[in-house]
Structures are given as structure tokens and as C-alpha cells.
Amino acid sequence: MINLRLGDIKEPLPERILNRLRKEALKDVNLYPSNYKQLISRLAEKHGVGKKNIVLTSGVDEGIELIARIFGGDILIFTPTYYEFLHTPKRNSMKVTSINCFNGKEYKIDYKKGDMKNRSLIFLCNPNNPFGILTKKEIVELAKSTKGIVAIDETYIDFGGETAMNEFKTTPNILVMRSFSKGYSLAGLRIGYIVGDEKLIGRIENTKIICNVASVSVNVAMTALDEEKYFTDLVKKIKQRKDDFEDFLMKRGFNVIHTDTNNIIIKFQKVDEAERFYKFLEKNKIIVNQGNGISTCGLDNSFIRFSCGTEHQMKEVRKTIEKYS
């Protein structure tokens, strides 16, 4: 069975790094976390921001939840995009409006002046999940067009695109959410952070629970920061593998929508064609998503989406698809 439904990094961590984690991750595990400040200092130095401009979260998902609770009310999202942008407001009984930004070929943010009126919060994803990418200029222009908060999920930023990390210094309604799940291959530890204006970060800090991130996760994150070269090389390798697989699919006549993540997207003309392909892969023990699956909103069932697995996994998937007709 090759399960490619989720966009986590399939490569296991190397033994060298695992050995470090065995020695370092579990220290003081009997105590309540006291290492938040250490990681925040490391991140502040990495990004060139102040320590009061950062708050740790249990993955980006908690960041989305906190931001929605504090700044939500009238929320705008641009679909297709990450599913929590839609589900978080819904489960908190908030108003959420979505604008479809897929024109049949690509994802392109499109809004009118009236769309920004009275919005308290706008969620963006860059690079967008499932596909699409925004320039820093586009993000800043959008943020300047609204009095609401613009919160950008940069979970996949290590795979491509321009970060808006420091834009809060001149555009204070921008918040940036980051995760260790993709660029550092630590999805199972649920560790992320939000960067922004000190006043906004203070409001988030005062709303979150005191110990929202496990000390083990913080220790592992600090080890990961020590291993930047390994993770940078890993992302490059995965991105190249994904791009090569997109080329393989296009040569076989599939309508591929390029992504700047580790996901692969095929758009079929008809839903029954996508269904047939999905069932073919399932019969061959390859598990993918048809339509939204469990991590996007705004895709119909004519889309097939799956993550880029290990080199061995993708060789097996390639062999299987070569038999499809």
C-alpha cells in the first residue's frame, strides 16, 4: 500500500538526526514546558524580527484557529485553498465568504474593491495548497486594500515563492503563519508559529492556552534548525522529484496543473474520468485524493491530487500509471 493522500514528507529522518533527537528531545519531559523563549529567540534571529513579534502554535492549524477566534467575524477566502480556512470559521459559527480563483487553467487572486469592504479577516495560503502562488507585491497590495487582518499560511514557503515575513513592519495588518511540518519534515510534532506586529501577537499570546506546544516538539524544532542544510537539500530533492513526475504525466497526456508544493494535481475533463483513474490506482494499492480529499476546499471531483512520495514510492506509482489506458 502506498498512501499519498496527505502532503507530509514521506522520507524518514536519517539515523544521524534521530540519534540527536533521542539524546535531546526528551530532556525535562516531566516538567511543564520552559523552552519556548529559546526557540522564539532562534526564530527571531533567523527571520530578523523581534522576539515579541513571534508566538508559538501547535502547528499552523492552531494558528488559523486562534486568528479566526480573535479577528474573525466577516472572513474572506480565495478557493481552491487549504480546507481549514473554511472549516475553522464554520465550526466557530463565523461568516465566511469564498471567491473562486481557478479560471480553468491556473489559480489567480481576483477581487473587487467591494469584496474588501467590512472584512475583518482574510486568509491566504502562499504557496497555495493545492496550487497557485502569490507575489509579495500582490499580498501587500491586498493587505493595503482592507482594514482587516490578512493572515498568510506559508507552510510550503520552502518549496517556492516570496515570503511576506517582514512586511508587517510597514503593513501592520499582515500576519504570517509558519510550520515545521513541511520544510523540516516534522508534521507529527505539530509545531508552528505566527509572526506579526507586536500588538497583534500580544493579543494572540493572551488568547492561547499557556502550554499549547509540547516541550518535546520545541526541542526537536531547535535540533531541526541546527540541521538547515539537510532539510534544504531534502526540499530541493523532493521538489525536483515532483517536477519530474509532473513532466512524466504530461508526456502521457494528463492535464497537469503545476504546483509549488510537494503535491501533484491532475485535472480531468469529466468526473467519471477522474473516478476511473482513482479506482485504477486504488485497485493497485495506491491511495490518492479525488476532489478535495481531506486537506483542500474548492476542488470538484474532476481533480486528482496526491503528494510526492519517496523515490521508491514514485517509481512504483510511475510503473502503475504506465499500465493505465
pLDDT at 242: 98
- Cα–Cα dist 192/233, whole Å: 21
Question: Does 90 score more than 90 pLDDT?
Answer: yes
Cα 57 to Cα 24, 102, 187: the distances in Å are: 21, 31, 13
Closest CA to 85 of 31, 150, 145, 174: 150
Strands 303-307 and 289-290: antiparallel
Q: Are 287 and 209 contained in the same domain?
A: no
Q: What's the total number of domains in the chain?
A: 2
Does residue 77 sit in the same domain as residue 111?
A: yes
98 membership: H or E segment, kind and range: strand 95-100
Q: How high does pLDDT run on average in the chain?
A: 96
Judge contact between 129 and 157, C-beta under 8 A.
Answer: no
For residues 149 and 192, state if they share a domain. Answer: yes
Cα separation, 189 vs 205, whole angstroms: 20
Q: How many helices and strands (H and E) does the chain possess? A: 11, 15
- Looking at residue 325, its pLDDT comes to 85
- Is there a domain that residue 119 lies in? yes
Residue 193 CB partners (closer than 8 Å, separation 6+): 40, 43, 54, 55, 56, 57, 63, 177, 178
pTM of the predicted structure, to 2 decimals: 0.95
- Whether 183 and 156 share a structural domain: yes
Which whole number is the average pLDDT over 154-175?
A: 97
Question: Can you give the length of the chain in residues?
Answer: 325
Buried b / exposed e over 234-245, threshold 16 CB at 10 Å, is bbeebbebbeeb
Q: Looking at the structure, tell me whether residues 189 and 41 fall in a common domain.
A: yes
Please indicate, yes or no, if residue 116 is contained in any of the structural domains: yes
Confidence at residue 49, expressed as pLDDT on a 0 to 100 scale: 98
Q: Is the domain of 6 the same as that of 38? A: no
Residue 266 lies in a domain: yes
In CATH, what number is assigned to the domain containing residue 278?
3.90.1150.10
Q: Quick one: cell of 12?
A: 524518514
Q: Region 96-112: what's the mean pLDDT?
A: 93
* pLDDT of res. 1: 95
pLDDT mean over 208-228: 96
- The whole-number pLDDT of residue 294 equals 85
Q: How confident is the model at residue 21 (pLDDT cuts 50, 70, 90)?
A: very high
Q: What is the pLDDT of residue 266?
A: 98
pLDDT per residue as tens digits for the range 274-309: 999 999 999 999 999 999 988 999 999 999 999 999
Among 202, 226, 250, residue at a domain's last position: 226
Grid cell digits, residue 301 = 471531483
Centre a 10 Å sphere on the Cβ of residue 323 and count the other Cβ atoms it contains: 8
> Which structural domain, as residue segments, surrounds residue 74?
27-226
Q: Are residues 222 and 239 in the same domain?
A: no
In three state form, how does the secondary structure of 133-178 look?
Answer: CCCHHHHHHHHHCCCCEEEEECCCHHHCCCCCCCHHHCCCCEEEEE
What is residue 113's predicted lDDT score, i.e. its pLDDT?
Answer: 87
- Residue 18 within any structural domain of the chain: no
Local structure of 289: helix, strand or coil: strand
32 within a domain of the structure (yes/no) = yes
Q: Is residue 152 part of a domain?
A: yes
Residues 6+ apart with CB under 8 A from 274: 266, 268, 290, 301, 302, 303, 304
- For the cut 90, the answer to whether the pLDDT of residue 240 exceeds it is yes
Q: Are residues 99 and 128 in the same domain?
A: yes
Identify whether residues 90 and 124 lie together within a single domain: yes
